[in-house]
């Protein structure tokens, strides 16, 4: 019996209803179906008052999800998509992402188009688009105390009401650089349209094998975004007396102390998107972010009498 999965945002009634409806429909078509919420991929935040511990990415897979699963449907917004890939990437399960949220930049289709999309998937009429993911680790005394699988970006920044931060950053074998800023972003091409874009970084098409470093509010005209090969690991040494906060994909994070290190490197796992239509990144940029829209000319001046 073929296997499929459904991951949904359980705080949205429309996603809950759709999950139950499509579970019953797929079972009626002879499929074994496993359900899970996206909460399992939200790692939460470490607590300074408790021993820091972490869950390895391989342990985040929901019950019933495994490498034998043909595909899974994600019902939610971009946050649910990020969480779902963190849950299933180690199994290599392709995801059909369905927007029940707002922006839906990472989603492939909408809920009202899901019947046609499912029909295409069951018939095998789709393409897979693989996106780079990175592993983010907080290291203390040579021990990994926290880690996460990241599809968008890692952000390391100061806490509120603290002074500007200094970061010593080493990319691969290259000499370390010093950056003074409110924080730094390390993003994948997928994340280049998220926080990195808001911080002034370039948009990178998903097929380019690079990562980017973007300083947040740097205290130098020379500190600008840097793009480098994703084969290069990145190590960040916080050169501060105060602790910092690290956030991954906007929904998980930990404190980083002055003696800690943060290590980012390309993950052996990738995010596999099911595409009903051939991937067209520029169309998504135009539709979601307004990139490349035709210029509207100024009105002609009116001659006064």
Return the active site residues.
78
Which residues define the annotated binding site? 78-79, 152-153, 182, 193-198, 251
Q: How far is residue 66's CA from residue 63's CA, in Å, rounded to a whole number? A: 8
The tokens for 249 are 């994909």
CB-CB contact of 234 with 170 (8 Å): yes
Which residues define the annotated binding site for NAD(+)? 78-79, 152-153, 182, 193-198, 251
Q: How far is residue 176's CA from residue 233's CA, in Å, rounded to a whole number? A: 12
CB-CB contact of 225 with 170 (8 Å): no
């Amino acid at each position: 019996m073929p296997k499929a999965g459904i991951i949904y945002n359980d705080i949205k009634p429309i996603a809950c209803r759709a999950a139950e409806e499509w579970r019953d429909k797929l079972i009626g078509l002879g499929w074994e179906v496993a359900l899970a919420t996206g909460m399992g991929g939200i790692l939460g935040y470490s607590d300074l008052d408790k021993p820091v511990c972490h869950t390895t990415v391989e342990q985040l897979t929901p019950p019933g999800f495994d490498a034998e699963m043909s595909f899974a449907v994600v019902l939610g917004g971009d946050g649910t998509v990020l969480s779902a890939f963190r849950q299933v990437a180690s199994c290599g399960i392709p995801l059909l992402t369905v927007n029940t949220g707002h922006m839906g930049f990472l989603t492939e289709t909408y809920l009202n188009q899901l019947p046609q999309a499912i029909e295409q998937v069951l018939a095998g009429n789709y393409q897979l688009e693989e996106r780079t993911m990175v592993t983010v680790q907080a290291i203390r005394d040579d021990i990994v105390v926290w880690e996460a699988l990241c599809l968008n970006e890692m952000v390391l920044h100061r806490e509120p009401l603290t002074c500007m931060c200094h970061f010593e950053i080493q990319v691969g074998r290259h000499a370390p650089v010093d950056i003074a800023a409110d924080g730094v972003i390390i993003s994948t091409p997928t994340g280049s349209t998220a926080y990195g874009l808001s911080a002034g970084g370039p948009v990178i098409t998903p097929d380019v094998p690079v990562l980017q470093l973007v300083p947040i509010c740097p205290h130098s005209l020379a500190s600008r975004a840097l793009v480098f090969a994703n084969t290069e690991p990145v190590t960040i040494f916080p050169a501060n007396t105060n602790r910092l906060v690290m956030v991954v994909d906007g929904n998980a994070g930990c404190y980083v102390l002055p003696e800690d290190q943060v290590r980012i490197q390309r993950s052996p796992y990738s995010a596999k998107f099911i595409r009903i239509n051939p991937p067209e990144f520029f169309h998504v940029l135009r539709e979601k972010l307004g990139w490349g829209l035709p210029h509207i000319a100024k009105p002609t001046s009116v001659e006064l009498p």
